[in-house]
Structure 1
C-alpha cells in the first residue's frame, strides 16, 4: 500500500463503517479527524501488520501502541504509522510475503517464518543453550549475531527481536499428559512450526512431528489431529481461534526461545531520507527496550490466566532439566550436521562465538 492508497484508506474510514460503528462519540470523531490529518501531512506511510489484536496488549506484548506512538514522535510525524492487526494481511509465511512484496511496510511474525530464506536464524531453535530471556537478548543483540546470522536475512530489514519467553512442551486438552522426560516424547504427535531445527529435535526425541499452520492450530487440536505443541505461555494464550481453550498441561522445558521479530520492507527503509531514517531507528531502539517490560507483564498474566481456567503447569526440577539437556542438547553430535547446514563450513567456530556471546558475563540486556 503506497502513500496515496493509504491516504485514500484513511479518508474512506468514516464512509465505510457500518452504522453501529459509524456512530462515534465526539472524542472518537475528533481522534479520527486528527489521524486523517496526520496521514495527509506525513511524508511516509508505515503500514505495520500483526496477527495479534491490539486490544489484547495485556496478554500479548506486541507493542502496537509503542510502535505507532514512538515512531511518529521520533520522526515528528514525518512517518505516519497505521497498525493492521488481527491477521488482516496474513499470518506467518503469508505475512512475511506481504512485507517482502510491499503490501505492507512492516510486520510482526515468528522468527521461524524467516528461516526458509535465512536458514542461519534457525540456529536459535537448537535446544538448551539460549532459551531464557536474558541469554536470548544477549545473543540477538550481539555483533556475532548481526555478522553471521542477520546478514542472511537480506530480503527484509530486521528491526528488532521480540522477547516472548521460552518454548514449552504443552499437551492438548484431549491428550492431557505432562511431557517432562525424554520418554514422554516418544510417539507423541507434535505440532511444529517451519523450523528444521525443531523438526530434528522432535525426531531425536522419538516424537511424530507434524506441520500445521499456526492459524489452524486450535481447530486441529479440537479435531485431535495432534497431541502437543511448543509455543511459550504468551504464544499459547494469544494464539488464534481461542487456542488457549485447547491446552491441557504446560510443561516448562525451556528448550529454545519462542522468538518473534519485527521486520520492514527494504524499499521502504531505503526510501527514507537520512534524518528520518535515523529518527526511525532511534524509535525502534526505544521500542525494543520497552517491549521487554511488556513481555514481563504479559508473561505473568498469561500464567495466571492459564491457572484460572484450569490448565496444569508443570515446572521441571533442575535434575529433570539436566536430563533433557543431556538427551537432546546442542552439545550432542547429532546436531553437527544441522549446525553445518545452517552456518556453513566454518560452523564450529561460528557456533562457539554465538555461545560466547550468549553466556557473556555482562549485565542483563534490556
Structure 2
C-alpha cells in the first residue's frame, strides 16, 4: 500500500486521567486512526483524526452477523523516556489470520504498523510512566455494508484507538482464583477460536458471570467436545509447572495463538527450563495436585501479561497452587518479560520496536 496518510490533529486536547487510577480501558486518547474498504477500491483513505463517534446504518453487517476482528498490544515508556512496542509485527500478522477466518480482506501489515507508529508519536504524552502502566492499543475492523443478506460485507472500517491503562486485574501480580467451567465451552476445532473475533468473547460472558458469583476471578475453559482437556483461562493462554516441567495446551485449532504465550515459550527455552506443548486434562491437573507435583500455574495475555493462579475449583474440588502464592518461576517470567517490554531488561530476541 502506497497511500498517503492524512493527519488532522485536534484543537482541544482532553485532560489526562490520574495515572494512579487508570484501571483498564476506561480512558481514550485525543486521536484515532481510520481507514475504509470498498470491494471496488480496496483499502483507502487512511487518516489520523480527532477521537470521534462513528455513524453506521442500522443494517450494517457487523450488527447482524458479527463480522469483526480485533487485536491488542501495548506501548511502553522507558525510564529514559523512549517509547517501545513489543512484537507489533506479530499482532499485524495475527490480524490478517483473523481476517482470513472471518472473510475480511487482508491489510498491508507494514503500512498499518507505520500508521500505528505515527499515531503513537502524536499521542506519546498519553503514555503513562509509572511501573505497570502502558498505552493499550486496540486495532479492529468492522463490516459496515448495510445489507441483511448472509454474505461477507463489501465495505469495512479499520480503526485504531488508544487507552492509557494500569493493571488489568485489580489483584495485580497476585494469584487469582479460577473456576473450571464444565457447562459452557469457549470454542471448538474448526470454529473461530484461533481468531480474535468479538463472538468468542461474548460467548464467554455467561460463564464469567457464574464464576464471579462464586467468588472466582475467571474460568478455566475445557475442550468443547469431551470437556476434558484444558484449553484457555478466561481470555488468556494457560501454563502449568508440573514436576519441574512447564506445560501449556498445544495449539489445536480452537486455542488462540497468543503472542505472550509464544514469548513465554521462547523465554523458558532460553532459560533451559523444560517446556512442552501438549494435551493436558483437568484430571491430570487434579492428580498432580494430589501428589504434590502441581507447582505453579499462570495465565498469559497482552492485557494482564502474566496472571498467577492460586486456586482451581473443579467440580467443587479445590486445588490450591503453591499455597496460594505467586511461584518463583512465574515471578521471574513476569519480571523478565515486562522488563523487556519496558526497556529495563536487555532484549536478546529482537522483539522490541522503538517509536521515534
TM-score bucket (shorter structure): under 0.3
TM-score by length of 1: 0.27
Answer 1 or 2: higher relative contact order, Cα 8 Å, separation at least 6: 1
Compare the two structures and name the one with the higher strand fraction. Answer: 2
Normalised by the size of structure 2, how large is the TM-score? Answer: 0.28
- Identify, as 1 or 2, the structure richer in helix: 1
